[in-house]
């Protein structure tokens, strides 16, 4: 679907005269809601204090008591990159604080499903734990917490997902999105929540003079994990999250990253000295996620926990191969999904349905989330992809568009049609659910109707927000470099994107589906390298097309020690 380019309204005046910033960058910041120079101060001392996070201090007390009594602790993680980084962080930090008996379990998504289920509690109980800590999950685990309570196991729930109508009866719940929590940043990822709890634990241990007999733990050493999990989970990068990500990236660039992250960057051919947030999101995160999608997330966690570079390289190689396997599975599933869409009674002038549901027996349960995301991006419609689950069930992964809160949609469907959805949970933009297989058609109809109720005031035309057209003098390496490192850029704080008309000097296909271009801006003699990924092979390359309108990012290409400006094309339209 061709996206409409809409230019942001950028102020023409200089917003921050006291800062040594390119005028274009100042206007870009202003277009992202930055109103004062102080908002660009991303030092650690600007972080929101842990005391503002409801129950964080109480969690610190519970953990300090557990350390003092040498209690057995089991961490229950989640099977995505946020869950993996959260698990690695809390296990590493607790051991550094002096915990002698701490281990972790990650539910295999194909056997146990999501979160702290009674089955996982039973599995954890084999180790006779005194305390279960959930990371990046647990806010909806009513039955699991009840099972732990029945066995006399204390529970600390740490999560960031939206809470349901009822909370689990845990000893402590820390979640910025739980009722009654007034923490100003509701956008913490799971790894951010557990990092804050570790800050609260350290403060409590200081009060108990814990560090008189041992060195105090520098929690900044875990910020590479916090940055990775935050970016990979695609949570909005408000100022607090940008501080966490910026400080984590600073450590990675400075050679202070843990071996696992360095090894993952290595297999992705990324230089840690120049890493940016998008490298974590598109290169490192998917390789960790591949373990949870296709195999066992403990592979990713062990890679992140590794203190030996040789071991980390071996684990990163396994994750890299799993990611290659995931791409093959995804490609086949996407082809099947497009065939399903092609059979829908749609004609060129007809509107698409307001929402899409797709199900194919044999689809891989671990890859449907990516498939839903790809179709959502292609059609700009809320999309749910289903795969076979347990006997008689199908499991769905939902992805949404701005303005359609997907978890609220599922909640509304469940309210209007009791029993139709067996389980669900998630965020505004992503969610998961389980249905009886025979309920799919009824659910699909109810889902589309509910989205239609909520979509009346939502623009269903896909939009590219542009920062405007660059001046001829802006196509230069220093500005491209400044923009690259000026973020961190990410969700709700997007990387600068521009648009304009260019003449094509040359074009050729590289890597099967990617178009390499040499472009000339209108009225300028400058020649610019550009690349457009995954182009429509029915259209490109086309030597008869002389001019294009493109949406693009101004980036830096490094090849054999040479650095040059390169345009990363987001949309390519023949003129």
* Span 465-504, pLDDT tens digits: 999 999 999 999 999 999 999 999 999 999 999 999 999 9
The pLDDT confidence band at residue 35, using thresholds 50, 70 and 90, is confident
Q: Sign of dihedral through CA atoms 523, 529, 532, 538?
A: positive
Sequence-separated (6 or more) residues with CB below 8 Å from residue 291? 79, 84, 297, 298, 299, 300, 318, 319, 322
How many whole angstroms separate alpha carbon 70 and alpha carbon 130? 10
What does the mean pLDDT of the chain come to?
A: 93
When pLDDT is averaged across residues 146-151 and rounded to a whole number, the result is: 98
The pLDDT confidence band at residue 86, using thresholds 50, 70 and 90, is very high
pLDDT tens-digit series, residues 245-262: 999 999 999 999 999 999
What is the pLDDT at residue 194? 98
How many whole angstroms separate alpha carbon 369 and alpha carbon 554? 30
Contact 2, 536 (CB under 8 A): no
Q: Sign of dihedral through CA atoms 362, 367, 373, 374?
A: negative
When pLDDT is averaged across residues 380-387 and rounded to a whole number, the result is: 96
How many whole angstroms separate alpha carbon 542 and alpha carbon 529? 17
Residue 357 β-bridge partners = 384
pLDDT over threshold 50, residue 347: no
CA-to-CA dists, residue 427 to 159, 370, 401, 416, angstroms:
12, 16, 12, 20
The pLDDT confidence band at residue 432, using thresholds 50, 70 and 90, is very high
When pLDDT is averaged across residues 57-73 and rounded to a whole number, the result is: 98
Strands (E), 345-382: 356-359
Structure tokens of 9? 């309204």
Q: Sign of dihedral through CA atoms 50, 56, 61, 67?
A: negative
What is the pLDDT at residue 348? 43
How do 528-532 and 547-559 pair as beta strands?
unpaired
Q: What is the largest CA-CA distance in the chain?
A: 76
When pLDDT is averaged across residues 168-185 and rounded to a whole number, the result is: 97
CA-to-CA dists, residue 476 to 131, 505, 526, angstroms:
56, 19, 10
Neighbour count for residue 207 (Cβ, 10 Å)? 11
What is the pLDDT at residue 349? 37
How many whole angstroms separate alpha carbon 545 and alpha carbon 455? 38
How do 562-574 and 547-559 pair as beta strands?
antiparallel
Q: Helix or strand or coil: residue 216?
A: coil
Spell 305-317 as b/e; 16+ CB within 10 A means b.
bbeeeebbbebbb
When pLDDT is averaged across residues 436-440 and rounded to a whole number, the result is: 96
How many whole angstroms separate alpha carbon 193 and alpha carbon 47? 13
pLDDT over threshold 60, residue 346: no
When pLDDT is averaged across residues 304-316 and rounded to a whole number, the result is: 97
pLDDT over threshold 70, residue 372: yes
Structure tokens of 546? 């002389």
When pLDDT is averaged across residues 388-403 and rounded to a whole number, the result is: 93
Q: What is the CA radius of gyration of the chain?
A: 24
Q: Kindly list the structural domains of the chain, giving each domain's residue range(s) and its CATH number in brackets, ordered by start.
A: 53-319 (3.90.1640.30), 344-454 (3.10.310.30), 467-574 (2.40.50.460)
What is the pLDDT at residue 10? 64
Tell which residue, 368, 485, 486, 347, has the closest CA to residue 430.
Answer: 368
pLDDT over threshold 70, residue 140: yes
How many whole angstroms separate alpha carbon 84 and alpha carbon 232? 11
When pLDDT is averaged across residues 191-197 and rounded to a whole number, the result is: 98
The pLDDT confidence band at residue 115, using thresholds 50, 70 and 90, is confident
Residue with more model confidence, 165 or 286? 286
pLDDT tens-digit series, residues 118-137: 999 999 999 999 999 999 99
pLDDT over threshold 80, residue 455: yes
How many whole angstroms separate alpha carbon 326 and alpha carbon 288? 11
Structure tokens of 366? 């671990």
What is the pLDDT at residue 350? 52
């Amino acid at each position: 679907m061709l996206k409409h380019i809409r230019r942001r309204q950028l102020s023409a005046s200089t917003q921050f005269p006291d800062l040594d910033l390119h005028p274009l960058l100042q206007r870009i910041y202003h277009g992202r809601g930055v109103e004062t120079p102080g908002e660009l101060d991303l030092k650690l001392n600007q972080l929101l204090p842990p005391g503002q996070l409801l129950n964080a201090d109480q969690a610190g007390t519970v953990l300090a008591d557990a350390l003092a009594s040498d209690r057995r602790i089991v961490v229950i993680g989640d099977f995505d990159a946020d869950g993996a980084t959260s698990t690695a962080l809390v296990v590493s930090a607790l051991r550094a604080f002096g915990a002698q008996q701490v281990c972790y379990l990650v539910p295999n998504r194909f056997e146990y499903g999501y979160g702290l289920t009674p089955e996982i509690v039973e599995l954890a109980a084999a180790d006779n734990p005194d305390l279960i800590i959930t990371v990046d999950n647990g806010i909806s685990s009513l039955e699991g917490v009840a099972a732990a309570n029945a066995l006399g196991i204390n529970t600390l729930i740490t999560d960031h997902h939206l809470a349901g109508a009822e909370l689990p009866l845990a000893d402590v719940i820390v979640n910025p999105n739980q009722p009654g929590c007034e923490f100003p940043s509701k956008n913490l990822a799971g790894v951010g929540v557990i990092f804050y709890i570790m800050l609260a634990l350290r403060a409590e241990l200081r009060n108990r003079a814990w560090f008189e007999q041992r060195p105090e733990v520098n929690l900044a050493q875990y910020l590479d994990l916090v940055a990775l999990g935050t970016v990979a989970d695609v949570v909005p990068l408000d100022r607090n999250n940008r501080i966490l990500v910026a400080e984590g990236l600073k450590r990675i660039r400075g050679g202070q990253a843990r071996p696992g992250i360095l090894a993952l960057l290595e297999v992705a051919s990324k230089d840690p000295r120049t890493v940016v947030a998008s490298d974590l999101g598109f290169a490192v995160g998917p390789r960790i996620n591949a373990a949870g999608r296709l195999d066992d997330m403990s592979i990713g966690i062990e890679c992140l926990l590794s203190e030996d570079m040789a071991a980390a390289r071996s684990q990163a190689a396994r994750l890299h191969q799993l990611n290659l396997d995931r791409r093959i599975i995804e490609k086949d599933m996407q082809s099947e999904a497009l065939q399903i869409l092609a059979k829908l009674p749609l004609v060129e002038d007809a509107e698409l349905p307001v929402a899409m549901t797709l199900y194919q027996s044999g689809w891989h349960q671990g890859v449907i989330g990516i498939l839903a995301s790809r179709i959502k991006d292609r059609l700009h419609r809320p999309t749910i992809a289903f795969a076979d689950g347990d006997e008689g069930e199908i499991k769905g992964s939902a992805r949404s568009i701005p303005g359609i809160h997907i978890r609220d949609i599922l909640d509304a469907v469940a309210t209007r049609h009791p029993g139709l959805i067996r389980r669900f949970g998630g965020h505004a933009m992503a969610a998961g659910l389980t249905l009886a297989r025979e309920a799919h058609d009824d659910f699909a109809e109810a889902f589309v109707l509910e989205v239609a109720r909520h979509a009346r005031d939502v623009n269903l035309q896909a939009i590219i927000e542009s920062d405007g057209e660059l001046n001829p003098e802006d196509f230069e390496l220093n500005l491209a470099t400044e923009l690259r490192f000026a973020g961190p850029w990410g969700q709700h704080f997007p990387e600068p994107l521009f648009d304009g008309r260019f003449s094509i000097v040359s074009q050729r296909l590289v890597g099967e589906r990617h178009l390499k271009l040499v472009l000339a801006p209108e009225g300028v003699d400058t020649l610019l390298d550009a690349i457009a990924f995954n182009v429509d092979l029915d259209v490109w390359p086309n030597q008869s097309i002389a001019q294009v309108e493109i949406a693009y990012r101004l980036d830096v290409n490094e090849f054999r020690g040479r650095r040059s400006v390169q345009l990363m094309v987001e949309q390519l339209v023949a003129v």
